[in-house]
Structure 1
C-alpha cells in the first residue's frame, strides 16, 4: 500500500518536493528492514520451526537477510542523492556498489543455508548449473546495459558487481529448487532485483526518464520484500508439518 500510494503521487510532486519522495523511498526500505527484524524475533520465540533446519540455523538465515537489507539501505541512501558525492566520484552511484555487493553476499549465504539440506542428493548438478549460469548471466546482462565507451572505472566496477548479483540470483533459484512452490517467491525476488539493477545500470550513463526511475524502485522494493520472505519459510513448513497426517 505504501509503495502504491507513493509511486502514484510522485509524478505530481514539484521539484522542491522531490526530496520528500526520496525520503519516502527510504522509509519504505526501513519498513522492510523492520519486517526482517520481526521475522528474526518470531523465529527465536516460535513454539515450532521447520524441521529441515535447526532453530539456530533459521535464526542465522533471518540474521543474514536482515544484514543484507541493512547494507542495501546504505546503498539506497547513497543513490537517493541526499548528499552530493560528485566531487568524490562520477557517477556517484558507483559508491553504492560495495554495500549492495555485501548485501548480495549475505542473501547468497542465507540461500545456501536454506537449500543445502534439501538439495544434498543433487549437489553436483546444482554446482554445475551454478558454475555455468553465473558467468553467463553476469556477462550477458553487463554487456547489454553498460556501453562500451563507458569510463574504465564504470566498466570494471559494474562487471565485478554483475558477478556478485548473478550469484545471488542463481542462489535464489537454489531455494526454489529446494523448497518448490514455497521457495518460488524467493527466486522471483532475485529476478526482480536483477531487473532493477539492470535498469539502473542501463541508465547509469544515459538520461533516465521519470517512469524508468519508478520502475527501478518498484521492482527493487518488491524484490527485497520477496527475498526477506525467505525467513518465513520456517513458519510455513512448520504449519505444513503440523497439518500433515500422521
Structure 2
C-alpha cells in the first residue's frame, strides 16, 4: 500500500477552491518574517497557518453529514490545540505546557482517525521507532518521563493516521518527522536549517490532516 499521495492529487485537492490560499500566504509570511525573539507578534505569525486551516475545517464541520462532521470536529479540536501549543512554545519557559497542548491534539487526531483498520505492522514499526528514538536521544532529567510518554502518543497518532489511505497518512507521518527533528535539535545536537525543516514538515503535516477533513468523499471512521 503506498504511503504518500501523489503531488498531482494534492494539487487537485488544494486547487479545488481558494479556501486554502490564506494558509499558504500565512506560511510564506512566517518564513519571511517569522521567528525572532519571543513576542505576541512572533506567536501570531507562527499560529496563523494552523488557524487558517482550523477555520476551513470548522466551515466544513458546519455543513458536513455524519460521520464526516464528527471527523471534522475532532480534526478542528486537534488544530486548535496545536495552535495553542505553537503559541506556548514561542516562550521556552512554557515548553511543558506546549507539549501538553500538542499531546491533546494527538488525542483528538486519534479519535478522528479511529481504530480500524488495525495495521499492526505499522504499529510495531512506529512504536519500536519511538522507543529507539527516546533511547538514542534522551531528554534532560526534568523531562525524562514526559518526553517518552509524548513520543509514544505521537507514534500512536502516526499509526492511526497511516492505517488507511488518505491525506491524513502523509500528514500524520510528516507531523511525526517534524517533532523528531525538533527533539533531536533540542536534546542531541544542532540541526542545520532546523527551523525551516521543523516548520515546513509541521505545516505540511497539518495541511494533510486538514485536507482529510475537507474532502467530501473521504471515508471516515465512526466514533469508537
- TM-score between both structures, scaled by the size of structure 1: 0.69
Change (3 A) 1:38 1:141: farther
Change (3 A) 1:32 1:155: same
**Residue 98 (structure 1) aligns with:** 100
1:210–1:36 CA distance, 2 compared to 1 (3 A): farther
Q: 1:164 aligns with which of 153, 168, 176?
A: 153
The CA RMSD measured in Å over matched residues stands at: 2.7
Q: Which position in structure 2 is the counterpart of 1:7?
A: 31
Distance, in Å, in 1 between the alignment partners of 2:152 and 2:40 is 32
Match of 1:135 in 2: 127
2:78 alignment partner in structure 1 = 68
Q: How far apart are residue 23 of structure 1 and its match?
A: 2.3
Q: Hey, what's the Cα distance between the residues in 2 that align with 1:152 and 1:16? A: 26
Q: CA deviation at 1:41?
A: 1.9
Give the aligned length.
195
Q: Deviations over 1:56-111 (max 9, x none)?
A: 22111111000111111111111122xx63xxxxxx42221111111111101111
Displacement of 1:19 after TM fit? Answer: 6.0
Deviation, 1:236, is: 3.0
| Contact 2:38-2:90 within 8 A present in 1 as well | no
Structure with the largest fraction of helix: 1
> Highest CA radius of gyration, 1 or 2?
1
CA deviations over 1:34-66 (Å, ceiling 9, x no partner): 1111221231xxxxxxxxxxx322111111000
CA offset at residue 224 of structure 1?
A: 0.6
Task: Give the drift of 1:33.
Answer: 1.1
Q: What aligned pairs does 1:18-167 form with structure 2 within 5 A after superposition?
A: 20-43=41-64, 55-81=65-91, 85=93, 92-112=94-114, 116=116, 119=117, 123=118, 126=119, 128-129=120-121, 131-144=123-136, 146-147=137-138, 150-167=139-156
| Matched position secondary structure for 1:236 | coil
